[in-house]
Amino acid sequence: MRLKMSDKSLFAVLLRSPWWLSFAIALLLGLAVRLFAPSRYVVPALSICIPFVVIGCMAAWKQLRLPGAGKIAATVEAVTAMSWREFSAVLESAFQRDGFAVTRLAGEADFRLEKAGRVTLVSGKRWKAANHGVEPLRELLQQRQKHEAHEAVYIAVGIVSENARRFARENNLRIIGGMELSSLLRLPKAAKTGS
C-alpha cells in the first residue's frame, strides 16, 4: 500500500514553498524551545525541528533541479519556432525517455501514454496559441472519458485563462507550460538557440 500526503498538509505546502521557509520555521521552533523549555528537555524538544529541516532539504534539492528563467524562456522560444511535426517528435521522445509507451492519436488528443498500467492522454497541437481557453480542455476531457484514461495533459506555452485553469483543476486536467515543459523536454543548447 502506497501512502500519499495530502496536498493541503503543512509539509506538502512547505515542499512547494521556497526551501528557506522550512529552515526558517525550524530555526524559530529551535529558538522557542531554547527560550521556553527547561534545560534538561532542550535536546529532546529540539527534535521537533527535524521534520522541517528534512522538508527544507527536500525542497532545496527539488528546486535546485528546476530550470531557471533563462532556460524556460529559451525553451518557449525554441518550441514556438518549431512546426507541429518537429514539436510532436520532441514530445514523443521526451515521454519515451521518461518510460512511457507512446501511441500517436488523431483527434483532440495527440498522444496516448501508458506506464505501469496507467493511461494518460496528451493534447499538444495548440501549444503555440497565444491564449488558451476552456474549449480545448473540454474537448480533452471528453477524449479522456471516451478512452477511459486515468489522466489528461494539455500543453500550452501561451497564456491560459483563469477560467481554463479553474476548469482544469475542477476536472483533474494537468496543464504543462513554461517550467514543466522545459523540464520535460530538456532541449539541447543548439535547439534552444536555433544554431
At 164, is the pLDDT very low, low, confident or very high (cuts 50, 70, 90)? very high
Residues whose CB falls within 8 Å of the CB of residue 111, separated by 6 or more in sequence, listed in order = 88, 91, 92, 95, 102, 103, 104, 105, 121, 122, 124
Q: 114-129, pLDDT tens digit by residue?
A: 999 999 999 988 878 8
Residues 39-86: tens digit of each pLDDT: 898 888 899 999 999 999 998 888 777 666 777 677 778 888 888 899
Q: What is the mean pLDDT of residues 1-5?
A: 60
CATH numbers and ranges of domains, the chain: 10-62 (no CATH), 69-193 (3.40.1350.10)
| pTM, entire model | 0.65
Contact status, residue 165 vs residue 154, Cβ threshold 8 Å: no
Q: How many Å apart are CA 158 and CA 181, to the nearest integer?
A: 12
